[in-house]
Structure 1
Amino acid sequence: MKKLQNCLYITKEGAYLHKQRDTLLIEQRIEGKKEKLLQIPIHSICSIFCFGNIMVSPQLLGFCGESGTHLAFFDMYGKFLANVVGKQTGNVLLRRQQFSVQHEQALDIAKTCVGAKIRSSRVLLMRHRRNHGDSVQLSKAIVRLKQIVAQLPHINEYQTVLGLEGEAASHYFAIFGELIKPNKDNVLFKNRSRRPPKDPVNAVLSLLYSVLGQEISGALQGVGLDPQIGFLHKERPGRNSLALDLLEEFRASIVDSITIKLFNNKQLSSKDFTQDVVGGFTLKDDARRLVFQAYQAKKQEEITHPFLGEKIQVGLLPHVQAMLLARHIRGDLAKYPAYYVQK
């Protein structure tokens, strides 16, 4: 089993990353002088995520590509820009099978991913109802999500699956604001907005969805699958469609739950964000570090995997699900067992 190694999040504007022998050296020029921010053994790092104006030396780029260390670049909002990809690994026969998956099997995988997403979303709403009380809109959303999950196995059209997924997301995010406790700071969530995020809650959601999506992409490449050939999300130039498929399984259980906790525990407030001229919200440096600390802590939590029956860390879920999907595509598993949160 893959060890859950450290992920490094670089948020300091103007930081310069380069390789010095067997260490990663991070420096920044302050008042004309070069200052060392961090120096750590490079082999201890699993992934490096760079946000904003970050510079990386050609030697470090080459090392990351050669060693399989995931290096990804994002803008200040957390929008993915690019990553470093080394030589192709994995089984070419598996990729051939992935490319030749027939419509019925592709549709079944798509329905499974959507069903898992809706189940986990519904559990999050039910937990809120148990802990904080009921409302008419909350109960309606819980009931409708259950109905959609029951409908999915009987659907034979791809567009209908997309329609049900969209309807479920609409019900879920219509009630999502109730999961954030009222506060004097007036942090409100009205609906899901992305480019750019129109409120602090959306800013955190977008950032963590983007980072987790890139980790899933790396996990898929690790088992030999092509992250751009999806089943729910169709191919589009530059988009890792299969990674987005698997991301659906983890949105509620990882990203949404972290976001709710950060605001409800008053670890984040409107003071931790800046707003640009077009209304987009961005996390300040200290707040972004706090979000990544919470994300790393979540990845260290242990759960019992519902299909394997084994205890694993949350951070290993993308690697486990990528492995199970590869087994299904090879024909070793009759169905792909998507991950979703149990009651």
Structure 2
Amino acid sequence: MKTHLNTLFITTEGTYLAKDGEAVTVRVEKETKLRVPLHNLDGIMCFGRISMSPQLMGACAEANISISFLSPEGRFRAAVVGFSPGNVFLRRQQYRLSDASDACGAISQAIVVGKLANCRAVLLRAARDSTDPNRSERLQAVAGRLAANIIDVRATNDVDRLRGLEGEAAVSYFSAFNDLVNAAPDEFIYTKRSRRPPRDALNALLSLIYALLTHDARSACEASGLDAAVGFLHRDRPGRPGMALDLMEEFRPFLADRLALSLINRRQVTEKGFDYLETGAVKMDDATRKTVLVAYQERKQEVITHPFLGEKTSVGLLIHLQARLMARHLRGDLDGYPPFIWK
């Protein structure tokens, strides 16, 4: 359990929340672990098997404190809110700013800077850890190109230009992927990014982890009152979760790509776990999928210091915190959206 940005996150299975005067008490096995005044909260997020008293739900509804219930993996299930919780005003502002070129450009710029900075950090860390000087030199060269891309991104807030720069940087970043694979490079060779369907084992692995990250991002939007369909960097498209895709961009290299590479380099995932179909598609078998799901949830339990808040939190809560920061920026409480930049 942890409090961030006036939001109480409950992650311990079996926790019971109750109203105690003008405060919420958090009990685990009938022992009070935490007591937080209601006036200090604007949201409670419950992950997994969490229960609470009807009196607390009523008090939160009257105080405009939203309660969100999510699966242990972070998938949104339901929310309890009172009348006029304020989300409608947040969403209307989100719609206004998505149509305002300057505001849309400023937010998109922050998102792209965060993504490219994290891509560069992945390459530089791999270059430092590599025992092959030639590989290290190649990784540093690509990191240098990304640094130049970041300078170009900071110089414009034109959304179309930002999309183009992000695409150019992605090509450079993925060109270094083969140098990031230390184990069994003959099994996981990167040629190009392929989706629907993935055409090789590496793309199949990335696609699954990106899908998990997308679910987490959509849950974060729902729990924070954002409209997951209306983004800034990603254009509106029927069925496309633009806001969720915006939020997850910063986490693709830090969480998804690093996890995929870790699974490969530690030989937790091998090419034997993938079936090559006659259509050219590649399908992951059940055992490998389970390995990836377990590894993803374990990675989300790791503790990290949030670079903007300066507080320790779990990796799994990072995207929820970013959604809350986005909401605060849209409401005008923050001058700009602070992207997550891995340090």
Kindly report which structure 2 residues correspond to 1:115-194, keeping only aligned pairs within 5 A, or say none.
Answer: 115-132=113-130, 133-135=133-135, 136-183=137-184, 186-194=187-195
C-alpha change, 1:311 and 1:71, in structure 2 (3 Å) is closer
Q: Does the CA contact (< 8 Å) of 1:70 and 1:218 recur in 2? A: no
Name 2:296's counterpart in structure 1: 295
One-letter amino acid of the counterpart of residue 172, structure 1? Y
Matches within 5 A, 1:206-225: 206-225=207-226
Secondary structure, counterpart of 1:100 in structure 2: helix
Taking structure 1 as the reference length, what is the TM-score of the superposition? 0.75
Tell me which residue corresponds to 1:3.
10
Deviation track 1:138-171 (CA, whole Å, cap 9, x = no partner) reads 2321111001111212113221111100000000
Q: Is the 8 A contact 2:108 2:157 kept in 1?
A: no
Q: Higher relative contact order at CA 8 Å, sep ≥6: structure 1 or structure 2? A: 1
> For the structure 1 residues 71 and 227, does the alpha-carbon distance in structure 2 shift closer, same or farther, using more than 3 Å as the test?
farther
Aligned length: 279
CA distance in 2, matches of 1:275, 1:86: 41
Deviations 1:221-244 (A, max 9, x none): 111110101000010000100100
How far did residue 276 of structure 1 move? 1.5
* SS of the residue 2:10 aligns to: coil
The unaligned stretches of length 5 or more in structure 2 are 1-7, 14-46, 52-66
Identity %: 39
1:92 to 88, 110, 118: 88
Aligned CA-pair RMSD:
2.6
Q: Structure 2 counterpart of 1:97, which letter?
A: Q
Deviation at 1:3, TM superposition (A): 2.6
State the 1:300 CA deviation.
0.3
Structure 2 SS opposite 1:2:
strand
- The question of whether the paired residues in 2 share the 8 Å contact of 1:71 and 1:84 is answered with no
1:1-343 to 2 correspondences below 5 Å? 1-4=8-11, 44=49, 68-69=69-70, 91-101=87-97, 102-132=100-130, 133-135=133-135, 136-183=137-184, 186-342=187-343
Q: Deviations over 1:231-284 (max 9, x none)?
A: 000100001001000110100110101100111011111111112122211211
Gaps of 5+ in 1: 7-41, 47-65, 73-82
Cα distance in 2 between the residues matched to 1:235 and 1:187 = 34
Deviating runs (4+, > 6 A) in structure 1?
83-89
Output one character per residue of 1:85-121: Cα deviation in whole Å (capped at 9) or x when no partner.
Answer: 8899761111111111122111111111111011001
Q: C-alpha distance in 2, partners of 1:171/1:116? A: 16
Give TM-score, length-normalised by structure 2.
Answer: 0.75
Deviation of 1:67 after TM superposition, in Å, equals: 7.7
Once the 2 structures are TM-superposed, how far is the Cα of residue 43 of structure 1 from its aligned partner? 5.5
Shift of the 307–248 alpha-carbon distance from structure 1 to 2, 3 Å rule, reads same
Aligned counterpart, 1:50: none
Q: Match for 1:108: what amino acid?
A: A
